[in-house]
Structure 1
Amino acid sequence: MRITGLASGMDINQIMKDLMRAERMPLDKLTQQRQTLEWQRDSYREMNLLLTKFRDNIFDGVMRRANMTSKAVISSNSAKVTATASATASNATYNIQRVDRLASAAYNSSAESISNGEKIDPSKSLRSMKGNLADFDWVKENVTGEEIQVNNAGTRFKLQNGGISDITAIKVDGVEFSVFTNAADYNNSGDTNKVLVNQDTGDLTFNKQLSKGSLIAADYSYEYVEFGITTHTSKGPVEATFKINANESLNDVITKINNSKLGLNAFYDEHTDKITMTRKETGNFNTNGENPTTGVKETGGYEIDFTESVFLTNVLKFDQTNEQGGENAQFTINGLATERPTNTFTVNGVTITLKDTFTDGAVNLTVNTDTQKIFDTIKAFVDEYNEMIDTINGKLKEEKYRDYKPLTKEEREALSEREAEQWEEKAKSGMLRNDQMLSSGLNRLRVDIYTPVAVGENAPFKQLTDLGITTTSNYMDRGKLQINEDKLRAAIEQDPEAVFQIFAADGPTNADKGIARRMRDSLATTRDQVVSRAGAEGRLNHQFTLGRNISSLDDRISNFERRLQQVEDRHWRQFTAMEKAMQQANSQAEFLYSHLFGSQQ
C-alpha cells in the first residue's frame, strides 16, 4: 500500500491510474484479439459437432439396411400368433393351420412339506434349522494351519469357512490363545490371551488388538453338505455340484442354484412349504427312456436330474418321478406338421411367436415392405439435413458488428450484467460470416445430392428427384430439401432395395457411391479442415491454426504485461523522487523561515 502526495498535495494514485490506462491500451487490444480468436474457435467447434452428429446419424439411418428395407408382418389373429421380420425376409404369406401344443419348460417341486413340525425359516442357517428338517448327516472337513495375515491392526477377523464344529487351536505369531464359543464364558474368563469364535459365521474376536503384520494360524473342523444337479438343455447336459456350509441358509442354497450354469429358476414357497425348480429353457431335450408312442418318460430321461442327491431327495423332498418334462411346440405351417423347442422361432427371416393353441381358424402372417418405417427414416434424414444447413447458413450470414469489441475488465465493470450480456452477444456475432471453408463444405454436399448414382441402366431410380425429393423453390432456403410424400411412398413400395441403393450404394468412384456415402465423405473432409483450423476438445494449441495464434498472443500479452510492470515501477520511482525532493524543499523553506523570522518574535 502506497501513501502518496503528502508533500506535493497531488493525487498520485489517480495520476498513475490515468497514465497506466493509456499504457495498457495496446494490451487491451491484444486481449480483445485473443478473445475474438477464442470465440471463433468455439464457433467452429460448434459447427463441427453439428457436422459430426449428422454424419453419424446418416450411418445409423439411411445407410442401415435394417431401416431402409424393413419388413412389417400383419397377423390375421394376433391373439394366437404374432411375427416380426428381418430386412432380409422376402415378401410372403405364412399360413399357420393349427397349434396343437405350446412349448413348456421342465419343472419339479417338493413332493411334500419340507419342514418337520415348526416351519423352517429360509433365512437362518441350515445348522440352526436342522431340527426342522428331515435328518441328514453333515460331512466334516478338517482344516490345519489356516493362516490369516493381519493387514490392519484390530481385534476382529474371519476364518475362511463358517459352520464350524470343532476348534483345535488358534495361535497368533506362535502364541496360543484360549478358545471360547460362548460369549458368557469368554467374558468371565481371566485368561491373558483369549478369542471368541462364532461357529456359524467363523468370526474371531480377540481380547487384545493384534498389530499389523501379525499372523493368525487356526486348526478347526467345519461341516457341509454336498449335492449335484444335471439339467438337459439345447446345448446338451449341464452338470453342477454345490457345497453348502452349515452356516448357509436355504435362501443361500436357492441363490446358488439360480446363479449357476444349470439354467434353473428355483424358489421356496412359504405357503406350501415346498421348493420348486423350473428350467428356464422350454422344450424337450432328453428323450432317453421315453415311450415313443405315449411320450411318457418311463425310465430315466429326466430333464432335471438329482436322483442320487440325498439332500435334495430326503431333505428337500424332491421325487424324480414328479417331474413335469418340457415339451416342444407342435404346429402346422403351410401344410407341414412340425415342432420347435420354443414358442418363438425363425423361418426365412420371419420370427414367429405362438401365443395360444388352436385347431381351427388358421392364422395368416403376411410379410410386406414396412413403407412407413422406411419413409420415416428418409424424412428424418431430410429434416436433419435441412436443420444442419439452416444452422450453418445462419452462421455464414450472421451480421458482424465491428463497433462491438470484446469488453475489457474495466468496461465490463462499468456495465450491468444484462448490458454486458447484450454487448457480448453482438461482439460474438459474425464470427463465421462468409467463411469459405464452411461454404465449400455445403457446396460439396449439394453436388453430392444432385449428382446421379451409377446403379445400372435398368435401375428404376438414379437420383433423389426420382424419389420425390427436390430442393425448395425459394432460393433464400439455400438448398433445403422438400419431399413429395406420395411419390416417395410409391417409390418405396415399388422397389425398396433400389431406394436403399440410391443412398448406400458403394463403388470405386464417387459416381458409383450412394448419396449418403458421398455426403459422409464430404462431411469428413469438412470436419478435418475445421479440426485443422480450430482443433477439437482436448487438443493442445500447437496442434491447430487458431490455437497457435492464441498461444502467440499469450506470449505477446505476457511480454507486454512484464513491460507494463517495468513502466509502472519507473513511474512510481519518479513520483517518489519528486515527493522526496519537494519534502526536502519544504523542510529547507521551513528552516530558513525559522531563522529569518523566528528572532523577530
Structure 2
Amino acid sequence: MRITGLASGMDTDTMIKELMNAQRIPLDKIMQKKQYMEWQRDDYRAANKKLFDFRNLTSDTMLRQSTYIQKTVTSSAPDEISVRNISSTSDFTGKINVKQLAESATMQSTDRVLASDADLTKKLKDLKVEVPSSFTIKAIKTDGSLDKDGYVVKIDENSTMQSVLNDINKNSGVNAFYDSFTGKMAFTAKNSGEIANTLDAGGNTINHPEIVIEGDTNNFLKVTGAVATEGKNAIFVYNGLETQRQTNTFQINGFEVSLKKASESDITFSSSPDTDKILESVVKFVDEYNKLIENLNSEIREKKYRDFQPLSTEQKADMKEKEIELWEEKAKSGTLRNDSVISSALSQMRSALNAAVGGVLGADRLSEIGITTSNNYMENGKLVIDETKLRKAISDDPNQVYELFAADGPNDSDKGLARRLVATLDDTRKKVIEKAGTDTAVNTTFSLGRTLKGFEDQISRFEDRLQLIETRYYKQFSAMESAILRANNQSSYLMNAFGGQ
C-alpha cells in the first residue's frame, strides 16, 4: 500500500493514473485489433457452419437416388397385399394371386416338463429335474437351408428354466416358450418357409425338417414324439407365373411385396412417382440455397463503421448496457466485407448451377425443369421455381431430375449440378478453416489464430513495460516528496533561527 502526497499535498495517485492512461493508448489499440479479429474469426466460423449445413443437406437429399424414386403404389386389395418401392427407378405394375402364406415350423412337447406351479427362476437341480449337460438346436436359416452345426445349449448346476429359455431365444434359430398351464414347451422357427431336404437322424433326436433338437431329450425336454407342424413357403402367381418365397415379405425388381392373406382372385397393383415428396425435396434445396447466398452476400456487403472501435474495459464502465450493445453492433459490422474467399464461393456456386451437364439423356440445365435465376440483380443470383414445370418434369421422368443433380461423369462438365456444388462447398470450407480454424483448433493452426497469438504476445510485453513505467513514476514522485520535505524542514529551521535572534 502506498501513501503519497503528504509533503506536497498533491493527489499523486490520480496524477499517475492519468499519466498511465496516456501510456496505455498504444496497448488499447492493440487490444482493439485483437478483439476485432476475434469477432472476425467467429463470423468466419459462423459462415463455415452455414456452408457445412447446406453441404450436408445437398449431399443427403439431392445426391441420393432414394430422393427421386419415391413412389405412390396403389393396390386393389391393400388388406391382402401391400407393395412399396425400395430401389426401382421405373414404374411397375402387375397382378398377384396368393395361394398360400409362408408359415414357420413349430414343435411342442407331448409331456409335461415342469410342474405347473414351478418357479422358473429356481435352479433346475433344486426342482428335482433330471437334465442333460447340453443339447443342440438346428433350425431353418434365412436362406432356407438348415443350420447343420446348430446352436449348443449348455446346462450347468446353476441353470434355471428361465436362463435356458433366454439362451435359446437369444442365440438359436428358434423361439422357445414354456407354458405354465400345461407344463409343456413349444418351439417356433424364427424363419418361415420349408426345407427341401430332411434329416435322417436317429437316437435321442427330434427330427423335423425346420427344427431339429439333438441330445438327451427323454427326461428334460420330453419332446420325443413331439407334435410338430411343418414350415410352409408362400405360394403365389405373379403375372401368370406361379412361384414361391420362403417369407411373406420379399422383393421383386426393386419393390417390396408383403403378403397378408390368401386371395380368391387376382390383386392388381401399380406405381407412379410420388411427385409431391420429390418436389418437396427440390423446393427445400432451392430455399436453403437462396437463404445461404442471401446471408453470405449480406456478410460481404455489410457496412464497416471505422469510427466505432471495440470498447475497452474502462470505456464500458462509463456506459450503460444499452449504449454498449448499440456501440458494439456497429463495431462488429463489416468483419467479412469484400472477403475474397466468400466472394469467390458465391461466384463458383452460381457457375456450378448455371452450366449444362454433359452426358445426360434428359434435361441438362436447371431451366429445363423449371428452375431459373432471378432477373432481379439485387437478389444476387437467387433461384426461382416454376412449380408447374418442375412438377411436370418430375412426373414425366424423376430419373432425369436425379441425373441432372447427381450424375457422376469423368469430367467436371459431366458431373451433376449438386455434385459440383458439394465440391465447391468443400473447397470453400477448407479455405475458411485454414483462415479461421474450427471451434477446437489451437491458434497456431490457422492464419488468424497466429496473428491473434502475436497480439497476445505484444499485449503481455506491453503490460510488463507499463508496470515498469508505473513503478518509475511512483519512484519519481516519491523523490519529489522527499525533496519537498527536506526543503520544508530547512525553511522551518531558518525561520526558527532568525526568530530566535
Would you call these one fold, judging by a TM-score over 0.5?
yes
CA separation in 2, counterparts of 1:435 and 1:303?
A: 70
Q: Secondary structure at the match of 2:122?
A: coil
- Given the superposition, is the C-alpha separation of residues 300 and 437 from structure 1 closer, same or farther in structure 2, using an over 3 Å criterion? closer
User: Are residues 1:329 and 2:211 paired?
Assistant: no
TM-score (norm. length: structure 2): 0.91
Counterpart in the other structure of 2:270: 366
2:306 matched residue in structure 1? 402
Residues 78 and 535 of structure 1: is their aligned pair in 2 closer, same or farther, counting only changes over 3 Å? same
The alignment's C-alpha RMSD in Å is: 2.5
* 2:212 counterpart residue number: 305
Q: Any conservation in 2 of the 1:228–1:309 contact (CA below 8 Å)?
A: no
Identity %: 40
Q: State which of 94, 119, 122 in structure 2 corresponds to 1:121.
A: 119
SS of residue in 2 equivalent to 1:453? coil
- Alignment correspondent of 1:68: 68
Q: Which residue of 2 aligns with 1:375?
A: 279
- Determine the structure 1 residue equivalent to 2:407: 505
Structure 1 residue 555 displacement after superposition = 2.1
Please report the TM-score for the alignment, with normalisation by the length of structure 1. 0.76
Partner SS state of residue 129, structure 1: coil
Tell me if structure 2 keeps the 8 A contact 1:71–1:89: no
Q: Secondary structure at the match of 1:306?
A: strand
Aligned match of 1:488: 390
Q: Contact 1:307–1:320 (CA<8 Å) still a contact in 2? A: no
Aligned residue identity for 1:376: E
Q: Between Structure 1 and Structure 2, how many residues are aligned?
A: 493
Residue of structure 1 equivalent to 2:463: 561
Residues 595 and 228 (structure 1), Cα distance of their counterparts in 2 relative to 1, 3 Å cut? farther
- Stretch moving more, 564-573 or 229-238: 229-238
Q: How does 1:226-241 map to 2 (within 5 A)?
A: 226-233=134-141, 234-237=144-147, 238-241=149-152
Question: Aligned partner of 1:453: which letter?
Answer: V
The secondary structure found in structure 1 opposite 2:231 is: coil
Of 346, 362, 386, the match for 2:251: 346
Cα contact 1:104–1:282 (8 A) shared by 2:
yes
Q: Does 1:33 align with 2:42?
A: no
Mapped partners of 1:271, 1:418: distance in 2 = 77
Matches within 5 A, 1:2-13: 2-13=2-13
Instruction: Write the distance in 2 (CA, Å) between the matches of 1:226 and 1:506.
Output: 57
Q: 1:256-308, CA deviations, whole angstroms, 9 ceiling, x for partnerless residues?
A: 11222x22222334444443332211111364279xxxxxxxx9434222253
CA separation of 1:319 and 1:413: change in aligned 2, threshold 3 A: farther
Task: Check if 1:276 corresponds to 2:179.
Answer: no
* Partner AA of 2:192 in structure 1: T
Q: Distance in 2 between matches of 1:240 and 1:528?
A: 53
- What is the distance in 2 between the residues matched to 1:55 and 1:433? 23
When residues 252 and 523 of structure 1 are mapped into structure 2, their CA distance, relative to the original with a 3 A threshold, is: same
- Checking the alignment, whether the CA contact within 8 Å between 2:86 and 2:255 is kept in structure 1 is yes
What is the CA deviation profile of residues 540-591 of structure 1, one whole-angstrom value per residue up to 9, with x for unaligned ones?
A: 3333322222222222222211211111111111122223333344444555
1:23 Cα deviation after fit: 0.9
Residue of structure 1 in register with 2:164 after alignment: 253
Q: How far, CA to CA, are the matches of 2:125 and 2:7 in structure 1?
A: 98
CA contact (8 A) 1:302 1:323 kept: no
CA contact (8 A) 1:401 1:427 kept: yes
Structure 1: unaligned runs, 5 residues or longer: 139-224, 291-298
Question: Unaligned regions of 5+ residues in structure 2, if any?
Answer: 201-205
2:137 and 2:455 mapped to 1: Cα distance? Answer: 75
Residue 319 (structure 1) shift? 4.1
The corresponding residue for 2:428 is 526
Shift of 1:129: 2.4
C-alpha change, 1:266 and 1:580, in structure 2 (3 Å) is farther
Cα deviation, residue 27, structure 1? 0.5
Is the 2:404–2:416 contact (alpha carbons within 8 Å) kept by the matching residues of 1?
A: yes
Contact 1:71 1:85 in 2 (8 A): yes
Contact 1:305–1:320 (CA under 8 A) maintained in structure 2: no
CA distance in 1, matches of 2:471, 2:432: 44
Instruction: Kindly indicate whether the alpha-carbon contact (under 8 Å) linking 2:106 and 2:187 is maintained by their aligned counterparts in 1.
Output: yes
- Name the counterpart of 1:285: 195
C-alpha spacing 1:528/1:9, structure 2 compared with 1 (3 Å): same
**Separation (CA, whole Å) in 1 of partners of 2:318 and 2:183:** 81
In 1, the alpha carbon distance for the partners of 2:395 and 2:164 equals 58
Q: 1:593 and 1:120, CA in 2 relative to 1: closer, same or farther beyond 3 A?
A: farther
Q: State the alpha-carbon separation in 2 of the partners of residues 302 and 309 from structure 1.
A: 19
